[in-house]
Amino acid sequence: MDLKEIERIEAKYYANTFSRLPVAITHGKGMYLYDLEDRKYLDMFAGIAVNSLGHCHPEVVETIREQSKLLMHTSNWLYTLPQLELAQLLVESTELEKAFITNDGTEAVETAIKLARKTTGKKEIIAMKNAFHGRTMGALSLTWGEKYRKPFMPLVPEMKFVEYNDVDALKRVITDKTAAVIVEPIQGEAGVIIPEENYLKEVREITKEREVLLIIDEIQTGFGRTGKLFAFQHSGIKPDILCLAKGMGGGFPIGATVFSCEDFEPGEHGGTFIGNPLACAVANTVVKVILRDKLTENAREIGDYLLNELEKGGMNAHGKGLMIGIDVKDGKKSVLDLIKKGILTIHSGNTVRVLPPLIIEKKHADEFLSAVGDIKL
Ligand SMILES: Cc1ncc(COP(=O)(O)O)c(C=O)c1O
């Protein structure tokens, strides 16, 4: 089967939800992906900040093999051990109180909305302009951007938006109806937007002062990507509710909401696949390998190196750790030019996004930089 045939089948049978790049991947190993013709690509976006350990990491493969021999699903009518182990790992590594496992990021945000409304008895949630929090109706109501929202109106009421990185504007918009403020430590889908150094700390202070919950969405920044296990740790603060997903499963679909606020009662929240033993076993392995192999430190070191070299090369690059945006004239063209050089990235408008696996080494960074130099990004 060739790319043309794949495009034909997709157009005929698959929902028209994705504008794909012209590459069909069959397999991967470490930092590399391979297409139908066995062409090799350096993966510099890790499935949108997901494959933290690269592709087919031997310990992940082994975990899947062993856990699938034991148990893949039984539902939450019964206790299963990987789920409990993961909850403990998440609570201990975030220093929050309880964890709820989800299947992905948008569900982690849905869970946060319900917790915030339940805890405070209030309805209003304040999100940031240009934020991305997911595509289910609750999370979508906190996501900025006409293209995501318009066809699906009306969304969940009492959601408000305020300028990102503007503490005074946030102060003005909080009212006695506000249950929570939700914020990304770095806006990812918006094009790797980094707020002022003190922003998150000040948001924490205001939300405390006004007795409003702080939800931090670390679905993209979490699990080492920015050079700390969680990006909120750069600011020395703690959220009330933390949303996680992406890098946590290293490619296996899973997310979590970790919280220090009022808990649910049985029946108020749940789901058939919640805390699936196979997904939880993989996440346990992924998080332990990130911690054991000091991949957070690696993200900081290689991220600094990449950012410095890109800046030295005269590029308009911005980021933290391995979450980097490069502003270019034409985002899509740059991504397509990089593909011809055997490098995979993605773009948000005219920002090329660089989100490689946390296992990246200097030689991979150099391979990327050399391609970037060749195409004069
Ligand atoms: C910050 C943030 N929140 C939420 C989501 C939604 O996660 P998912 O795509 O797993 O539903 C994303 C996905 O890109 C994200 O970057």
pLDDT digits (tens, 9 = 90+) for 292-310: 999 999 999 999 999 999 9
Q: How far is CA 110 from the centre of its chain?
A: 15
Closest residue (by CA) to atom 6 of ligand 1? 134
Tokens of 23: 């590459």
What confidence score (pLDDT) does residue 195 get? Answer: 98
What confidence score (pLDDT) does residue 328 get? Answer: 97
Q: Are residues 41 and 177 in the same domain?
A: no
Number of domains in the chain: 2
Ligand 1 centre and the CA of 312: distance in Å? 32
Q: What atom in ligand 1 is closest to the CA of residue 253?
A: 10
pLDDT digits (tens, 9 = 90+) for 192-231: 999 999 999 999 999 999 999 999 999 999 999 999 999 9
pLDDT of 165 above 90: yes
Q: Phi then psi for 151, rounded to 5 degrees?
A: -70, -10
d(CA 224, CA 57): 17
Tokens of 297: 């430190």
Q: Phi then psi for 10, rounded to 5 degrees?
A: -60, -45
Q: Are residues 45 and 141 in the same domain?
A: no
Q: What atom in ligand 1 is closest to the CA of residue 217?
A: 1
The preferred substitution site among 50, 104, 106, 130 for testing ligand 1, maximizing ligand atoms within 8 Å of CB, is: 106
What confidence score (pLDDT) does residue 376 get? Answer: 84
Residues belonging to the active site: 132, 217, 246
Ligand 1 centre and the CA of 134: distance in Å? 5
Ligand 1 centre and the CA of 219: distance in Å? 6
**Pick from 300, 352, 345, 355: nearest CA to 323:** 355
Closest residue (by CA) to atom 13 of ligand 1? 134
Q: Are residues 77 and 226 in the same domain?
A: yes
d(CA 83, CA 76): 10
Residue 122 domain boundaries: 71-292
Q: Are residues 17 and 106 in the same domain?
A: no
What confidence score (pLDDT) does residue 301 get? Answer: 98
* CATH code assigned at 262: 3.40.640.10
Q: Are residues 103 and 198 in the same domain?
A: yes
Q: Are residues 260 and 311 in the same domain?
A: no
- Which residues, 6+ apart, have CB-to-CB distance to 212 below 8 Å? 120, 174, 178, 179, 180, 181, 206
DSSP for 295-336 reads HHHHHHHHHHHHHHHHHHTT-EEEEETTEEEEE-S-HHHHHH
Tell whether 63 is covered by a domain.
no
| Residue after which a domain boundary falls, among 229, 259, 292 | 292
Tell whether 342 is covered by a domain.
yes
Closest residue (by CA) to atom 3 of ligand 1? 133
Tell whether 65 is covered by a domain.
no
Q: Are residues 32 and 120 in the same domain?
A: no
d(CA 368, CA 354): 10
Tell whether 178 is covered by a domain.
yes
What is the number of other CB atoms lying within 10 angstroms of the CB of residue 350? 16
Q: Are residues 86 and 13 in the same domain?
A: no
Ligand 1 centre and the CA of 145: distance in Å? 14
Tell whether 258 is covered by a domain.
yes
Ligand 1 centre and the CA of 2: distance in Å? 31
Percent of the chain with pLDDT over 90: 99
Q: What atom in ligand 1 is closest to the CA of residue 255?
A: 10
Confidence of residue 335 (pLDDT cuts 50, 70, 90): very high
pLDDT digits (tens, 9 = 90+) for 95-145: 999 999 999 999 999 999 999 999 999 999 999 999 999 999 999 999 999
The helix or strand, by DSSP H or E, that contains position 204, with its residue range, turns out to be helix 199-209
Tell whether 268 is covered by a domain.
yes
Q: What atom in ligand 1 is closest to the CA of residue 220?
A: 16
What is the number of other CB atoms lying within 10 angstroms of the CB of residue 78? 7
pLDDT digits (tens, 9 = 90+) for 260-299: 999 999 999 999 999 999 999 999 999 999 999 999 999 9
Q: Are residues 20 and 123 in the same domain?
A: no
Q: What atom in ligand 1 is closest to the CA of residue 106?
A: 11
Residue 38's Cβ-count burial label (10 Å; 0-12, 13-18, 19+) is: exposed
Ligand 1 centre and the CA of 244: distance in Å? 9
d(CA 70, CA 76): 17
Instruction: Taking residues 37-61, report their average pLDDT.
Output: 98
What confidence score (pLDDT) does residue 377 get? Answer: 84
Q: Are residues 229 and 358 in the same domain?
A: no
Instruction: Taking residues 313-319, report their average pLDDT.
Output: 97
| Residue after which a domain boundary falls, among 292, 317, 338 | 292
Ligand 1 contacts (CB < 6 A) are 48, 104-106, 109, 132-134, 184, 188-189, 217, 219-220, 245
d(CA 322, CA 221): 9
Phi-psi region of 215 (alpha: psi -120 to 50; beta: other; left: phi over 0): beta
